[in-house]
Structure 1
Amino acid sequence: MLPPDPAPRYPRRGRPPHPDGARPARLRARSHRRRFAERGGRILVAVTPDTSTETENSLLAISHAIARRQDASLSVVRFDEVPEQVPLSHAADEQTEAEVAFEEETTALTSGMDVDISMNEVVSHDIEHAIANYVTEHDVDLLVGQWHVEFPYAEFASHDVDWFMKHLSADTLFVRDRDVSTVEEIVVVGDRGPLSPLEVFTADAIGTAFDASVRIVHAVEAEPDSEHANRIRDYQEQLLALCESDVTAELHTEVDREDDMVDAARDADLVFAHENEPRRHTFLRHLLERLGY
């Protein structure tokens, strides 16, 4: 059982990019309930006291692009963790300068966004379960958060992202910080089987919002005229018909899958990768590690 959800603080409603680097940003998606393809819904942009203004701006830009396409609402929530010795009632009663700054900065960052936006702050003794409870009790469809790459595992809110991917009832999208407004090429890669609907949809939404091209890449060891290769071509054609941005599809046959996909993603500005089974050392985890280090 998860502990009771700590009471949110200072609810706000209203409508009132960035680190440089040669390596591509990565987005790691997991479509848990596969329900975000429906219209509407709620997107949670989860930040912590360690989240910089630049990072929050990047997360909001991605989330706004998705929300506009889906007619979804955005909830920007700052999750803070206090020691067990500090009563939650005491922490909730006092608004710090950092919390005031969060509200002012978020209001400024979202002032030009044309979707329904709310702000909130949650204080707890256990940030993992506080986020999980918030997602459940507020019926969140998609959580968007920053992905801190720490070899061999990645972290969100100072915890392993695999915990959130496994326990949250919502779909999850973790992104390594970057200014998405400068993105020119997006690559979507997958490990066998169909791609996640979430990652294809999100790549297409970002491509449309920022006039970036999208490449959907499959690599197989099968021969070009094999039944497997032909099925993938048919599947790619179906995907292209659903997208609105400048999207192309590639099928690489008779190749070493791991090396080929790493090469395909290496020069992209933004790479989408999907994992169905957190914690396993899958091909996609191998891909992300090869791109990141």
Structure 2
Amino acid sequence: GAAVITVASVVWYLLYVRPRVDREGAATDAVRRQVGRDALEQVEIAASQNAHEVLVALTKNVSEERERSLVAFAADVVRPDDGRVVAVRFEEVPDQVPLTEQVTVQSDADRSFERRVEALSEEFGVAVEADEIVSHDTKHAIVNLATDRGVDAVVAEHEPLRLRSRLFGDPVDWVVRHAPCDVLLVDNLGYGRPERVVLSGENGPYHPLAVGVAESVVAANDGQLSLWYPADATGSDEGARTIDDYQSELSRLLSVPVSAETVRTDGGRRSQPDLLVRRGSSDAVRDALFDDRPAFPSPGCTTVTVYPHESRRPGFVRRFLERATF
């Protein structure tokens, strides 16, 4: 009896289960390859849309070193197009305080900030402009300035926030959702000359904005770009080969040295990068409830999370296919 059951089970698997699994696996791989091709086309299109002017929004008192790091990063982003960096220190006062000339007049600290930041123009080889804005609402002031100047991206510091801050409105998180342009949030652990830059892939192909930012930084510092992807992302040999092919095609599109690495999410990786670039989640509710950090272990370096403007974000169906296949 047991032998009959065993034989019947083997026959059932060979005649019904395996062909079905093979067909489903082939279909998934075909969709994955098409999603990858579409992503590569978007990278080619985005290559001609580099940032010409970037707003560095300083929303709190930071050290001169961190201030310099943000401006240096922004300078590397705009350098391919001889762009401009606008560094603005935003100060918020209570609604009860009228915005009179006495409140908004420049202080000695303001003038020192402007001299210090604008002096970086010669060092970094790009135009750098500094200013201060006093307002009753920092987040609206940032978005209004970005709109008035028509900047291509906003760069700001990002730190882990408490749940209350996420639910009831941190200025920088609000800017991500309402800015008229791309937003680049920086977990700022310092920024010198990053020679080893990592482009992190999680739950989908690399976003064109993340690719462009990483390539600009590598080109500015004569470095190397490393493509990271989780080792167990697809769970199949076919999926792994498809991602390898996708990374190879992406490497051929870029003008900088590129290597690819599979990375274990349990902490195993080859070496520590100088800078990690990744795309942020497009799920506002998820971002409000959870600190959206990389699935990989902490890279131990400055991390840039890119949030494309809504006009450059994939739609629901595309996001579903990316998560389902990558």
Q: Please classify the TM superposition score into its range, dividing by the shorter chain length.
A: 0.7 to 0.9
Q: 274, 285, 290: which one pairs with 2:292? A: 285
CA RMSD between the two structures: 3.3
Q: Which has the higher helix share?
A: 2
Letter in 2 for 1:74: V
1:68 counterpart = 2:79: yes
Secondary structure (helix, strand or coil) at the match of 1:235 reads helix
Q: Which residue of 2 aligns with 1:162?
A: 173
Alignment partner, residue 238 of structure 1: 249
Question: Which structure carries more relative contact order (alpha carbon 8 Å, separation 6+)?
Answer: 1
Higher strand share: 1
Q: Tell me, in whole angstroms, the C-alpha distance in 1 between the residues paired with 2:251 and 2:80.
A: 17
- Mean CA deviation greater in 118-127 or 145-154: 145-154
Corresponding residue number in structure 2 for 1:136 = 147
Equivalent in 223, 243, 252 of residue 236 of structure 2 = 223
Distance 1:247 1:217 in 2: 11
Tell which structure's C-alpha radius of gyration is larger. Answer: 2
**CA distance 1:265–1:50, change in 2 (3 Å):** farther
- Per-residue CA deviation, residues 79-118 of structure 1 (Å, 9 max, x unaligned), is 1111212211335652112211111211222232332332
1:121 partnered with 2:128: no
1:267 is matched with which residue? 272
Q: 1:37 to 1:218 in 2, by over 3 A?
A: farther
Aligned residue number for residue 21 of structure 1: none
Residues 1-293 of structure 1 aligned to structure 2 (within 5 Å): 37-39=48-50, 41-91=52-102, 93-150=104-161, 159=170, 161-219=172-230, 220-224=233-237, 226=238, 228-251=239-262, 259=265, 263-264=268-269, 267-275=272-280, 276-280=282-286, 285-287=292-294, 291=298
Between 1:163-172 and 1:211-220, the stretch displaced more is 211-220
How far does residue 268 in structure 1 lie from its aligned partner after superposition? 2.5
Distance 2:246 2:256 in 1: 18
TM-score, length basis structure 2:
0.66
**Unmatched runs of 5 consecutive residues or more in structure 2:** 1-44, 301-326
2:124 match: secondary structure? coil
Look up the SS of the partner of 1:118 in the other structure. strand
Deviation for aligned residue 1:60: 1.2
Q: Structure 1 residues 91 and 278 mapped into 2: Cα distance closer, same or farther (>3 Å)?
A: farther
C-alpha separation in 1, matches of 2:115 and 2:81: 27
- Partner Cα separation in structure 1 for residue 198 and residue 111 of structure 2: 38
The answer as to whether partners of 2:139 and 2:172 remain within 8 angstroms in 1 is: no
Deviation at 1:39, TM superposition (A): 4.4
Moved more, 278-287 or 53-62: 278-287
When residues 48 and 99 of structure 1 are mapped into structure 2, their CA distance, relative to the original with a 3 A threshold, is farther
Letter in 1 for 2:272: D
3-state SS of paired residue (1:179): coil
Aligned-residue identity in percent: 30
Instruction: Give the CA deviation at 1:267.
Output: 2.8
> What is the Cα deviation at residue 53 of structure 1?
1.2
Q: Distance in 2 between matches of 1:123 and 1:288?
A: 38
Q: Are residues 292 and 74 of structure 1, via their aligned partners in 2, closer, same or farther at CA, if it must alter by over 3 Å?
A: same
Q: Which residue identity does 2:283 align to in structure 1? A: E
CA distance in 2 between counterparts of 1:214 and 1:234 reads 17
Is the contact made by 2:118 and 2:129 (CA closer than 8 Å) also made in structure 1? Answer: no
Aligned equivalents of 1:142, 1:117: Cα separation in 2: 15
